[in-house]
Amino acid sequence: MNHITGLFKYIPIPREYSPDIYSVDYEKLKKLGFNTILMDYDFTITIWRDDNIPKKTLDLFDKLINDGFKVAIVTNAKREKMKLIEKITDGKIKVHTSMKKPNTKKLKQVLKELGSLESETVMIGDLFITDISAGNKLGLYTILINPYTYGLENKFKHFMAGFTKFAYNVFFYTIGWFFRVIDLVSPNEFKGNIFDTDYEQLKSEGFKIIIFDFDNTLNEWHSNNLKPEVIDLFLKLKEMGFYILIASNSKKKRFNNLSTELNNLGIDLLSYSMKPLRFKIRKKLKILGYKPGEGVVIGDQLFTDIALGNSLGFYTIKVQPLSKKEGLWTRFVRSFEKIVLKWIRNKPTLSKK
């Protein structure tokens, strides 16, 4: 880690956002090698200052444990009533109070007790200044959620929840937006070309659809024909059970001849896909019936291919462009890529497992 990316340890920007703990893609986290989930208490698993745990939260805990996760509650509160969770879950969920987040000293002790590594642990909470800040300092994978307000009628508690969201939005739209953009264009993996990817591992981890960029990923810029080795790779991937979708920002008329050839091979082509905007791809995925955790995006550009993949919740792989010949706009954007690459913080990869 260089001194620039090391700054992320002190910037409370989460790795992910989720509406609530129930919407987190735990299956994807498991694929990426995470085995430990730490959750905040107030406004994360239940209403603020409420020691009653909803049944759907207990059901989620059961599912996580059955899926092989170690789960613990880490809260700054001192209320001993929260220890009832340990009794309700037969000791499977430990509750650690008075954690003093964003200080990480007690979090380290929790990880030691669980026998978990920082690189295998996820921190989920509603407060960026405590939960996310502590997680980032310790090198955990951090997920920020909206404050828990299901069934909440108390106006003061509603105000506190709203203030929590307001405080983060102020931070995000001042200092935080820059770091969020950096994360949005950060790939899970860097590869030399499409042939360097471990497709067997992608298959074994349950990925089902691969979206390829076209220019400078599959072929040189503005070449309208695919090389035999690319076709062979596609046929191999089809035999493995992958659905192949080529997404290009070029207009449809450019691919009149190629689209017929690809159609005969059972390979889908989406022209004028408008990357990094995701609405055309999302519409296509909805028709095909694929979920975010089942997809991979492979391309040569951070601000189109990788940004698209990350916004979709896909696994992203950045390859080197096949040639230096590119359009004027792409060359302009490449100058920003060089800057961004100095700031990128490492994302979890399948290869770490």
Q: Which domains does the chain have, with CATH numbers?
A: 5-184 (3.40.50.1000), 189-352 (3.40.50.1000)
3-state secondary structure of 300: coil
210-230: average pLDDT: 91
* b/e map 273-307, b = 16+ CB within 10 Å: bebbebebbeebbeeeebeebbbbbbbbbbbbbbb
Q: Is the pLDDT of residue 5 over 60?
A: no
Residue 8 banded pLDDT, cuts 50, 70, 90: low
Q: Which of 12-21, 46-55, 61-70, 247-256 has the lowest mean pLDDT?
A: 46-55
Q: Is the pLDDT of residue 85 over 90?
A: no
User: CB burial class (10 A; 0-12, 13-18, 19+) of residue 248?
Assistant: buried
Q: Position 256: which residue type?
A: N
- pLDDT tens by residue, 110-169: 999 999 999 999 999 998 889 999 999 999 999 999 887 666 556 666 676 677 777 777
Q: Which of 182-196, 263-277, 331-345 has the lowest mean pLDDT?
A: 331-345
pLDDT attached to residue 352: 57
283-301: average pLDDT: 93
Residue 62 banded pLDDT, cuts 50, 70, 90: very high
pLDDT attached to residue 258: 86
191-210: average pLDDT: 96
pTM: 0.82
- pLDDT tens by residue, 144-158: 998 876 665 566 666
pLDDT attached to residue 299: 96
pLDDT attached to residue 259: 84
pLDDT attached to residue 171: 73
How far apart are alpha carbons 145 and 55 in whole angstroms? 19
Tokens of 138: 């310790």
The most confident of 73-87, 201-215, 259-273, 319-333, by mean pLDDT: 201-215
Mean of the per-residue pLDDT values for the chain? 88
28-40: average pLDDT: 94
How far apart are alpha carbons 107 and 122 in whole angstroms? 12
Percent of the chain with pLDDT over 90: 58
234-245: average pLDDT: 96
Higher pLDDT, 86 or 44: 44
* b/e map 212-231, b = 16+ CB within 10 Å: bbbbbbbbebeeeebeeebb
15-26: average pLDDT: 93
- pLDDT tens by residue, 264-286: 889 999 999 999 999 999 999 99
pLDDT attached to residue 58: 92
Residue 1 banded pLDDT, cuts 50, 70, 90: very low
